Structure formats: structure tokens, C-alpha cells
């Protein structure tokens, strides 16, 4: 499966710097000139989860394998991108493929770093980008509607559904609103997702502040917070530049550095967690002497489909899941003790896996 977040924003706002920090590499070229990035950079990031380390410690697991999330560093968008301005329209296609958008907003003042509009105004920047995404959606909907005409006439059911959904999206977009405000019926959810409209993707605003504002945020990030709350989107405050520095340090050094800065936790950890929440993702664990491993599922996933994340055969031949809740596993001191205390449950096909469940799957091959 694997979930993907696209890092989106105006040119030169710190997207590649953030990407490098997240992936602990210098894979993406980050430099003080607009349109530095052209081809998207793709990297996998381990999802930090203290619970996994705790479980491994209790079970004496030799190896710890965190679950992962993919980040894609996309080229900067500018006003007119949907009409081919800047580096044009191809980047909009990169955004189509992601599950959610991390929208980086410049919230730092630094006369040496070029802002494409010559001023720092993250709320206006967010509008610029959102407008481009809306225009791109309108254009792609109009094209797709034309392409559907014949099929709809022929009575193709899927085409009729698509046409209806596209028209609903078009109506709100033409009022200047993102397609995510369209209320979608249960029966339409799948088809709606398949439309891959840019403005239906959940947004996490990343307020990129200067080093000195990393712990407290600033007036710019406060305005973004307000905007995000009004839209029902999420936001985090982080300094991409410091995060990149921290990502080069080893764990002890990084901890000291964070404390000196007055931070309790690396901004990246907060960002990844916020991404998790935004996508309604949860984690379950498999724990044994060989390895302790975390797996990602969507909230509400039933046991067989959760098993399918490990291997398709687990889902096909699913018999039952043995479950211990994280808290019981930890407070009782491991699997055996939890079992003896009656805290291991056998669950069937309809069981909805809970965040933090420690699971064993039994299956037919």
C-alpha cells in the first residue's frame, strides 16, 4: 500500500530543504533560486513511534522495523501554472498521484532569500497555490466531461456516475471553492477518489519559520493557523532549515540541540504525525523475538484487510487474529503475561483493528 504526501508550494519556500530533512539525505538540491527543483524527488520516511521501541524492548526483538510513508518533493508552482506558466503544468500531474498535500508556506523573513512575489505573506501564497489547483481541476474536469459524452449517451453506468460527480465538482470550483467542500455520498466515495481532483486532497500547511521562531511560531504562522482552522485543514510550525541541520546529527546530539532550542520534539516528528492524522491512518504492531514491526492501515480497517497489508495471502486465507491492546501488552509486561491475564483476544473477520493493537494472524495457505 504505502501512503504518499506531496510537498507543494511556491518556488524557493523551502520544500527541498524540508524533503532533505525528512529523508535525512541531501538527495534534493536545495538552493536560493526559484525553480531549483524540476524533477520530483521521492523518498521514504520512517514513521517515528515510541510505542514500537517499547514493544521491542519488552519482547527482546532483534530488529525494529518502523512503518514508512512516502514524501514527494514537487517543483514550485506559480500563478498561471495551470496555464503553463513557470515550469508549467506537468507538476500538477505529480500532485495528482499523492494522497495528501503538505503545503509549505514561507513564514520566515530573510532578505537574502528570494520570494517570487517579493514579500512574505503566507496566506496570500496559500491562496495563489489553491487558485492554481482549482483552475487545474476545472480544466481537467472540462476535458474529462467531453471525453465522457459518448459513453454517457450509450448509458454506461460508471460514465453516468463520473459525469454527475464531475459536474458537482465543477459547480463549486466555478464559485471559487475547492472540490473538497462537495458532500459525497457513501456510494460515491470510491468513484470520487478515482477522479483524483487536486483540490479534494487533504492539506497540511507547513509554516516554515526562521530558526529563532521555531519554538514559538510568529505572526505569519499565527495567520496560517487561523486560516487552516477556518478551512478544516491542519497546520504545523517548523523551521525546515533547522530540521535539516538536526537530521544530520546523531540521536543524542539531536536531543541536546532540541532542548537548547526549547523544543520538546523534532518538528519532523510532529509533521509526520499530523500527516497520519490528516490521512486517518493508524498503526498496528507485530512483535516477536526476531522483529518488532509497525504497519499502517486506514482507520476502520477490518482484520483481514489489515493482514493483507503484510501479505495478500494473509488476507485470502484469513482465519482469525489474536489481539493484545498496546497498553495491556506494556503494563502486563509482554505477550505471555497478557495471555495469562486473559488480555489476548481471538477476533474474527469483522473485527475493526484498533490503533496500537499487537496482532498475530492465523491463516490458511
- Site residues (vs Mg ion, CB under 5 A): 15-16, 36-37
* Residue 149's binding partner out of Mg ion, ligand ATP, none, with CB under 5 to 8 Å set by partner kind: none
Question: E strands of 60-202, at which residues?
Answer: 63-65, 68-73, 100-106
Does 17 show up as a binding residue in the annotation?
yes
Which CB sits closer to ligand ATP, 100 or 292? 100
> What is the contact mask toward ligand ATP in residues 103 to 132, using x (rule: CB under 6 A)?
-----x-x--x-------------------
Is residue 141 a contact point for ligand ATP (CB under 6 A)?
no
Euclidean distance between CA atoms 67 and 235, whole angstroms: 23
The verdict on 208 binding ligand ATP (CB under 6 A) reads yes
Q: Which is nearer to ligand ATP, 36 or 337 (CB)?
A: 36
Is 16 annotated to bind a ligand? Reply is: yes
Q: Does 37 engage in binding with ligand ATP (CB under 6 A)?
A: yes
Is 301 a known ligand-binding residue?
A: no
CA distances from 239 to 32, 61, 249 (A): 16, 35, 16
The neighbour count for residue 164, using CB atoms within 10 Å, is 13
Burial class from Cβ neighbours inside 10 Å (0-12, 13-18, 19+) for residue 222 reads middle
User: What sign for the dihedral angle of Cα 126, 127, 128, 131?
Assistant: positive
Residues 71, 221, 94: CA angle, nearest 5 degrees? 25
CA 321/CA 323 separation, integer angstroms: 6
Whose cell is 459524452? That residue is 149
Given 5, 30, 47, 95, the residue binding ligand ATP (CB under 6 A): 30
15 is in an annotated binding site: yes
Rounded to whole angstroms, the Cα distance separating 192 from 14 reads 32
Nearer to ligand ATP, 104 or 195 (CB): 104
Distance in angstroms (rounded) separating the CA atoms of residues 197 and 98: 11
Min dist CB 289 to ligand ATP, Å, is 43
Measured distance CA(206)–CA(187) in Å, rounded: 33
CB of 245 to ligand ATP, least distance (A): 11
3-state secondary structure 333-349: CCHHHHHHCCCCEEECC
Nearer to ligand ATP, 53 or 117 (CB): 117
The Cβ-side half-sphere exposure at 98, using a 13 Å CA radius, reads 31
| Contacts (CB under 6 A) with ligand ATP, residues 236-265 | 239-241
For cell 482552522, name the residue: 229
Region near ligand ATP per CB under 6 A, out of 8-16, 89-97, 226-234, 357-365: 8-16
353 is in an annotated binding site: no
Q: At its nearest, how many Å lie between ligand ATP and the CB of residue 91?
A: 10
Stretch that binds ligand ATP, among 30-38, 118-126, 170-178, 283-291 (CB under 6 A): 30-38
Name which position in 16, 23, 89, 296 contacts ligand ATP (CB under 6 A).
16
| 217 near ligand ATP, rule: CB under 6 A | no
- Which residues of this chain interact with ligand ATP, rule CB under 6 A? 9, 11-17, 30-32, 34-37, 75-76, 108, 110, 113, 208, 210, 239-241
Indicate the annotated binding residues: 12-17
Indicate the annotated binding residues for ATP: 12-17
Amino acid at each position: 500500500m504505502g501512503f504518499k504526501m506531496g510537498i507543494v508550494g511556491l518556488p524557493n519556500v523551502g520544500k527541498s530543504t524540508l524533503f532533505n530533512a525528512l529523508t535525512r539525505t541531501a538527495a534534493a538540491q536545495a538552493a536560493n533560486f526559484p525553480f531549483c527543483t524540476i524533477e520530483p524527488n521521492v523518498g521514504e520516511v520512517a514513521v517515528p513511534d515510541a510505542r514500537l521501541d517499547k514493544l521491542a524492548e519488552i519482547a527482546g526483538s532483534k530488529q525494529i522495523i518502523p512503518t514508512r510513508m512516502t514524501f514527494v518533493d514537487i517543483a514550485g508552482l506559480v500563478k498561471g501554472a495551470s496555464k503553463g506558466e513557470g515550469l508549467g503544468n506537468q507538476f500538477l500531474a505529480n500532485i495528482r498521484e499523492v494522497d495528501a498535500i503538505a503545503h509549505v508556506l514561507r513564514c520566515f523573513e530573510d532578505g537574502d532569500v528570494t520570494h517570487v512575489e517579493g514579500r512574505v505573506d503566507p496566506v496570500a501564497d496559500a491562496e495563489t497555490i489553491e487558485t492554481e489547483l482549482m483552475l487545474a481541476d476545472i480544466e481537467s474536469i472540462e476535458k474529462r466531461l467531453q471525453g465522457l459524452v459518448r459513453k454517457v449517451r450509450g448509458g454506461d453506468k460508471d460514465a453516468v456516475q463520473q459525469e454527475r460527480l464531475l459536474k458537482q465538482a465543477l459547480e463549486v470550483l466555478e464559485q471559487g471553492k475547492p472540490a473538497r467542500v462537495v458532500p459525497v455520498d457513501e456510494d460515491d466515495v470510491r468513484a470520487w477518489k478515482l477522479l483524483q481532483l487536486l483540490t479534494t486532497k487533504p492539506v497540511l500547511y507547513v509554516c516554515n519559520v526562521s530558526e529563532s521562531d521555531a519554538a514559538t511560531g510568529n505572526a505569519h504562522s499565527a495567520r496560517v493557523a487561523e486560516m487552516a482552522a477556518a478551512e478544516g485543514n491542519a497546520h504545523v510550525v517548523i523551521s525546515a532549515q533547522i530540521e535539516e541541520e538536526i537530521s544530520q546529527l546523531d540521536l543524542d546530539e539531536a536531543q541536546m540541540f532540541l532542548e537548547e532550542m526549547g523544543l520538546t520534539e523534532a518538528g519532523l516528528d510532529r509533521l509526520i504525525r499530523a500527516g497520519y492524522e490528516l490521512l486517518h491512518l493508524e498503526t498496528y504492531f507485530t512483535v516477536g523475538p526476531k522483529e518488532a514491526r509497525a504497519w499502517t492501515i486506514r482507520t476502520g480497517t477490518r482484520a483481514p484487510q489489515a493482514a493483507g497489508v503484510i501479505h495478500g495471502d494473509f488476507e485470502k486465507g484469513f482465519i482469525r487474529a489474536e489481539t493484545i491492546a498496546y497498553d495491556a501488552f506494556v503494563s502486563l509486561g509482554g505477550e505471555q503475561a497478557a495471555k495469562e491475564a486473559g488480555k489476548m483476544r481471538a477476533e474474527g473477520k469483522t473485527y475493526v483493528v484498533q490503533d496500537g493493537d499487537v496482532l498475530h494472524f492465523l491463516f490458511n495457505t
